[in-house]
Amino acid sequence: MKKILFALCAIITISHLNAQTVKKSLTAKKIKKELYLDYDSKSFSYGLKKDELINQTITNEKSFSSKETSVSVFIKSKNPILNELTIETKTIENLSYKKYKDELNNFISQFKEVSGFEQKDFESLAQAEVLKKDFLDAIESIVESIKQTNENNYTDKINSIKNDIKKINQYISNQKSNLKLASENWYQNTKLFEAEAEIAATLNAYYKLLFIWKEKIEINPFEEKKIDNISRDSLQVVNIKVTPKELKFDRTNKKLTLEKKEAESINTTLNFEKFSRFVPEVRPALVYTNLTFPKFGTETNDSDELVVADAGEEKFNKINAGLMINFNYYTGDDEFVPFFQLGAGPSKKYPILFSGVGVRLNEKLMISGGGAWTWINELSSLAIGDLVSGTSVIEDDQKFKFTTKPKLYLSIQFKL
């Protein structure tokens, strides 16, 4: 069982990492195949059905579990000009589940040994000194309409933008005709026209973008992100970020800009894993048990011959270190969680197998109790009173035998 002690030292070192993974699994919200997200300027919220309110707030991170290997995340579609949505997905190893499998295999092998078993900011500059008032008014009207457009009022706002787009396109057409007839200040008028045309082209592009968005959300108001490869061995981590953008038109300097507001971005992280009714967790433990191990020695008989003798019991601490695997029952919370337990300890000379039940009081403390079985060293071919040449003969004759009658153990597991 020396390897188990080494494993115990290792697990103490990284137990805080495993504890975080287990906490996510225990508090994960169970879902079927779909998850719905909405957001405002401050935070994200989620719901489990399309026709229900999406009002359960997500702070910075939230975990979800599903019996499926693939789920769909539907994100409420917002004004694409004023909101930049970025989604990054990555796969990370489920440390807790890996540690559970490693230690379970370790227990089995050890006991076999003993027992024999781009967002590009759109920017248009108008350097001309004078633009016609109706052209400037139309630009300002479009900018305000874009800033006010959302999923609740898009029809009226997009129609208003459409009317203003007609005005600026008509103005550009007239300016183009006038430019052909102009002879004085030809270069200055050309540069002015180019600036005006660039603003008009940008606003036309914005209008087309909103119109496409309008047609899309009339069919489905959500954007779908497919999350695949959900398994027990790994977590699918989805980072979602929404960066607001501000559209401005500087009438004095004839400048149209669309700027990202990074400082006002909102972020959330969603973790997806395979649902399991029992969440395994490996923990170091202090275990109390009242086990006894026989001890054999030598003595001389009446004929002054060396014989096997009963030397009482080996000195064995009642409190020892152990390594436990807790199978936490999923309740949706990580406090007062019942579990059943398997464990091992403390050494090859005194191998013990623990099996019991307990309660996970919180992330840092668990208590448990149950039965402790052990392999007791017994004489194989020798018996008390048999003649021997020395203690080495007795040691070579001893073999471990599994005891079928358990003793009570009590255990405390902890996070350092």
Q: Mean pLDDT over residues 289-307, rounded? A: 82
Quickly count: other Cβ atoms within 10 Å of residue 251's Cβ: 13
pLDDT in the model for residue 378: 80
pLDDT in the model for residue 112: 57
* 320 confidence band (pLDDT: 50, 70, 90): confident
Which of 34-48, 94-108, 134-148, 317-331 has the largest mean confidence?
34-48
Q: Which DSSP letter does residue 51 get?
A: T
Query: 301: phi > 0 → left, psi -120 to 50 → alpha, else beta; which?
Result: beta
187-208 pLDDT, tens digit per residue, is 556 677 788 888 889 999 999 9
Range scoring the smallest mean pLDDT among 16-30, 71-85, 284-298: 16-30
* 246 confidence band (pLDDT: 50, 70, 90): very high
pLDDT in the model for residue 37: 95
Q: Which DSSP letter does residue 387 get?
A: B
Domain ranges of the chain: 123-216, 278-414
pLDDT in the model for residue 45: 94
* 80 confidence band (pLDDT: 50, 70, 90): very high
pLDDT in the model for residue 51: 79
* 167 confidence band (pLDDT: 50, 70, 90): confident
Range scoring the smallest mean pLDDT among 52-61, 222-231, 304-313: 304-313
Which one is predicted more confidently, 299 or 183? Answer: 299
94-149 pLDDT, tens digit per residue, is 777 777 677 667 766 655 555 544 333 333 323 333 346 788 888 899 999 999 99
Which one is predicted more confidently, 412 or 322? Answer: 412
| Cβ neighbours for 96, distance < 8 A, ≥ 6 positions apart | 18, 21, 22, 25, 279, 280, 281, 282
pLDDT in the model for residue 64: 93
Which one is predicted more confidently, 179 or 71? Answer: 71
Distance separating alpha carbons of residues 91 and 203, to the nearest angstrom: 40
Phi and psi at 367, nearest 5°, equal -125, 150
CB 243 within 8 A of CB 262: yes
Distance separating alpha carbons of residues 346 and 317, to the nearest angstrom: 10
Q: Mean pLDDT over residues 349-357, rounded? A: 86
Query: What value does the mean pLDDT of the chain take?
Result: 82
* 76 confidence band (pLDDT: 50, 70, 90): very high
Give ∠ CA 291-293-297 in degrees, rounded to 5.
160
The size of the chain, in residues, is 416
Quickly count: other Cβ atoms within 10 Å of residue 341's Cβ: 24
Is the confidence at residue 74, as pLDDT, over 80?
yes
DSSP string, 188-236: HHHHHHHHHHHHHHHHHHHHHHHHHHHHHHHH-SEEEEEE----SSEEE
CB 221 within 8 A of CB 208: no
